[in-house]
Amino acid sequence: MTAQNAIQPPPLKAAVYVTAFIAALAGLLFGLDIGVISGALPFITKEYALNNTVSEWIVSSILAGAVLGTFASAPVSRLWGRKTALLLSAVIFVLGSLGSALAPSPAMLIGVRFFLGLAVGIASFTAPLYLAEMAPQRVRGALISMYQLMITIGIVLAFLSDTAFSYGGHWRWMLGVLAFPATGMFLGMLALPQSPRWLFLVGRKTEGREVLSKLCGSAAELDAEVAEIEHTLERPGGGFALLRNPNFRRVLLLGFALQVAQQFTGINIMMYYAPKIFSVAGFASTQHQMFGTVLIGVVNMLATFIAIGCVDKFGRKPILALGFMVMAFSLLAVGAALWMIPAAATIPAPGLWQFLAVGFLILFIIGFSMSAGPIIWVLCSEIYPLAGRDLGITVSTATNWFANMLIGATFLTALDTLGNAQTFWCFGALNVGFIFLVIFFCPETKGVSLEKIEERLMEGRPLRQIGR
């Protein structure tokens, strides 16, 4: 045996990939709920003659529910386990999807989508946490990124479904069809184990070791994982008690900032209001708007593979910084193209500036999907200490949904108040600022165990040094 073969890590077991896929179905449902409203909203608006304010609340009510769902998921996840929390979210997805399809009025639809948001919040909190605690460290980034990939696949499927139902204006079917994949997620989760780190955390160490044995590639890897987890559990304090620790407060603030950055890139305005954006860009045909929306979803999905292939090879930090650079340039360019479109507004068919605006929007989607989309979820699943992981991910995920809600509830108003070009310039400027956040504060966590990240954080090292 050569020295190179001697240090070759053991192959990953199939159980790792099966577990990651089923848990990541939460991301599929998350993506379906994000994408489906984009195609349904124009028909709902027309049927009920809605103004911009009511339309914004139909979009953002699910996000308000997601904030509440995030806070509810922390005690559920800690007391009954990550698996139980994901099962609960699947049940709410089924009920909320059916309720949305049957809602008799805009007010009822807003209320049901708020209820559905509870599932989105629980899933977005628990799925990355579950994946981080189940995955071997050498593929942790890729497996957590699979969650983001499933979100993008869900968005594409929602856009395709919306396009199919749009010919008959069947917006209720657009919303109700989501009950089928939610049922599939529930049945799949029944077959998965609880997180081994949660089992150790609640004192069920024998069960935790049994789960790890099914995931680790060798006995040596299993012993090393168990030893690191038990060493971490020796550290006193946990939950809200950790708020007295300045090191925990630092990483909590970092998670908060990263999630604000992800949402204020402007990504979800593309998902919620894609047909409206294509209309602003000069594509008046409903068919053009719907097919353009599908194109955005497909690009979003395909570009996520860049992150999956690179996150454990090149690291989190360089990809994230590059992504913010691409997004900043793209949105500033979109604004410039939109600025020029009024001069060509009398052209009967879309012209140069319209196509440039769409081209730069696609470049923006690529920049997000290869970086901030998956990698911020990866980082926020890695940086918190075990005893405070529920609290930390609660705060960061709730921040994500609150920021998401602000964007969803104000975008149409921003277009009317600031103007089309100026709105996109504002988002471009924010992305410039996020580049500096990554450079000066983000750690590189590639190839570092969760326990080692925790140890360096609690030693008081600068945040950018708690990883490699």
10-residue averages of pLDDT along the chain (468 residues): 48 74 84 81 87 83 87 87 93 94 93 93 86 76 78 84 82 91 92 89 89 78 80 67 88 94 85 66 64 79 85 88 95 87 51 79 91 88 83 84 80 80 90 95 88 90 89
Question: Which distant-in-sequence residues (6+ apart) come within 8 Å of 143 by Cβ?
Answer: 16, 20, 131, 134, 135
Domain membership of residue 342 (yes or no) is: yes
Domain membership of residue 226 (yes or no) is: no
Domain membership of residue 211 (yes or no) is: no
Q: What is the C-alpha separation between 129 and 403, in angstroms, rounded?
A: 20
CB atoms within 10 A of CB 274: 25
Q: Which of 385, 374, 391 is nearest to 133 (CA)?
A: 385
Domain membership of residue 396 (yes or no) is: yes
Domain membership of residue 197 (yes or no) is: no
Per residue, the 3-state secondary structure of 226-246, as one string, reads: HHHHHHHHCCCCCHHHHHHCH
> Total structural domains in the chain?
1
Given this model, what pLDDT does residue 348 score? 47
Given this model, what pLDDT does residue 105 score? 92
Q: What is the C-alpha separation between 235 and 457, in angstroms, rounded?
A: 13
Given this model, what pLDDT does residue 85 score? 93
Q: Residue holding tokens 């006193």?
A: 236
The domain in which residue 346 lies consists of 11-192+235-465
Given this model, what pLDDT does residue 285 score? 62
Per residue, the 3-state secondary structure of the chain, as one string, reads: CCHHHHCCCCCCCHHHHHHHHHHHHHHHHHHHHHHHHHHHHHHHHHHHCCCHHHHHHHHHHHHHHHHHHHHHHHHHHHHHCHHHHHHHHHHHHHHHHHHHHHCCCHHHHHHHHHHHHHHHHHHHHHHHHHHHHHCCHHHHHHHHHHHHHHHHHHHHHHHHHHHHHHCCCCHHHHHHCCHHHHHHHHHHHHCCCCCHHHHHHCCCHHHHHHHHHHHCCCHHHHHHHHHHHHHHHCCCCCHHHHHHCHHHHHHHHHHHHHHHHHHHCCHHHHHHCHHHHHHHCCCCCHHHHHHHHHHHHHHHHHHHHHHHHHCCCCCHHHHHHHHHHHHHHHHHHHHHHHHHHHHHCCCCCCCHHHHHHHHHHHHHHHHHHCCHHHHHHHHHHHCCCHHHHHHHHHHHHHHHHHHHHHHHHHHHHHHHHHCHHHHHHHHHHHHHHHHHHHHHHCCCCCCCCHHHHHHHHHCCCCHHHCCC
Q: Which of 330, 320, 293 is nearest to 378 (CA)?
A: 320
Domain membership of residue 206 (yes or no) is: no
CATH number of the domain within which 70 lies = 1.20.1250.20
Given this model, what pLDDT does residue 102 score? 94
Domain membership of residue 198 (yes or no) is: no
Q: What are phi and psi of 150, to 5 degrees?
A: -65, -35
Q: What are phi and psi of 14, to 5 degrees?
A: -60, -30
Structural contact between residues 228 and 449, judged by C-beta atoms closer than 8 angstroms:
yes
State if pTM tops 0.85.
no
Domain membership of residue 185 (yes or no) is: yes
Given this model, what pLDDT does residue 161 score? 85
Structural contact between residues 416 and 280, judged by C-beta atoms closer than 8 angstroms:
no
Given this model, what pLDDT does residue 238 score? 60
Question: Which distant-in-sequence residues (6+ apart) come within 8 Å of 267 by Cβ?
Answer: 365, 368, 372, 373
Q: Which of 402, 434, 462, 459 is nearest to 66 (CA)?
A: 402
CB atoms within 10 A of CB 46: 11
